[in-house]
Amino acid sequence: MSAVDAEQSLAIYKSFCTQTEGVVEYLSIARKLSNLLNFPVPNLRHVRMSHRFRDNIGNGKSRPQQS
């Protein structure tokens, strides 16, 4: 993968993580109101980007490209 493609992929992934964290927050609020809504709200499990990948992004370490 070229550096430009890798940077674009990372930007897309960061956007996905940000949006997913927003959905998790929205559902947690909806879950608190589920009795009033009379509607079951599903549990969504999501590993936050900060817990897993954020520390490794931009650390200067790169893996060799596979051919």
Distance of alpha carbon 10 from the chain centroid: 11
Task: Spell out the residues 6+ positions from residue 65 whose beta carbon is closer than 8 angstroms to its own.
Answer: 1
pLDDT at 67: 44
Tens digits of residue pLDDT in 13-33: 999 988 988 888 888 888 888
What element of type H or E holds 29?
helix 3-32
Q: Could you tell me if residue 9 is inside a domain?
A: yes
User: Which band of pLDDT confidence, cut at 50, 70 and 90, is reported for residue 42?
Assistant: confident
Spatial contact of 46 and 21, defined as CB atoms under 8 Å apart: yes
Query: How many independent structural domains does the chain possess?
Result: 1
Mean pLDDT of the chain: 76
Q: Could you tell me if residue 48 is inside a domain?
A: yes
- What is the average per-residue pLDDT within 40-65? 59
Q: Could you tell me if residue 15 is inside a domain?
A: yes
